[in-house]
Amino acid sequence: MTAALNPEAVPFWPWGLLLLIAGLYIVAIAGLIAAGRREDARALAGFIPDCMVLVSRLARDRRISRARRALLLLVLAYLALPVDLVPDFLPGIGQLDDAVLLGLALRVVVRGGGIELVRAAWPGPQASLTLVLRAAGLETNGAATPRTTLKP
C-alpha cells in the first residue's frame, strides 16, 4: 500500500515538523490579533509573501538592467525553494539567510536605479518596508541614506 493511501506510513519528518511549525506560526499571528495588534499580525503573516512579490516586481521592471534582474530572479527562486542554507524551521534564525540575500539584492538594485523603485514595488505595510530597508542598510531612522537616492 502506498503512503498516499495509508496515513500511518507517512513519516513525521519533514511533514509533521512542517505542520507543527505552521501551527506555531498561526498561533503567533492569532496572539497578535488577540492582543489588538492587527497591523503587526498582518505584517508577520505577509512578510515572506511580500518579499517575494517585491522581488518579482523588481525582476520585471525594465528600468533595472538585465544583470540585476537576473540576480533578482535567482533570489526569487531561492526564496521560493523549501531548501535553504539555514532551514526555515529554526526559530529566529530560519529566515536569516533569506533576509541577507534579499538585503544584498536590494542593495544591488538601489545602486542601479534608486530606492524609489523598491518603495514603489513594495506591496505590504510601510512598517515592513522600513524593516526591509533597514536590514539592507538602505535606511536609518526613517531617512534614506545619501547613496540610495535616485540617479539622474
Q: What is the pLDDT along the chain (152 residues), one digit of tens a residue?
A: 454 566 667 666 666 766 777 787 788 888 888 888 888 777 777 877 888 888 889 888 888 889 998 988 888 888 777 777 777 666 666 667 777 888 888 888 888 778 888 899 999 888 888 877 887 788 765 555 444 444 44
Residue pointed to by grid coordinates 492582543: 35
DSSP string, 1-19: --TTT-GGGS-STTHHHHH
The three three-digit cell numbers of residue 98, written as one number:
533569506
C-alpha distances (whole Å) from 106 to each of 67, 93, 142 are 13, 20, 17
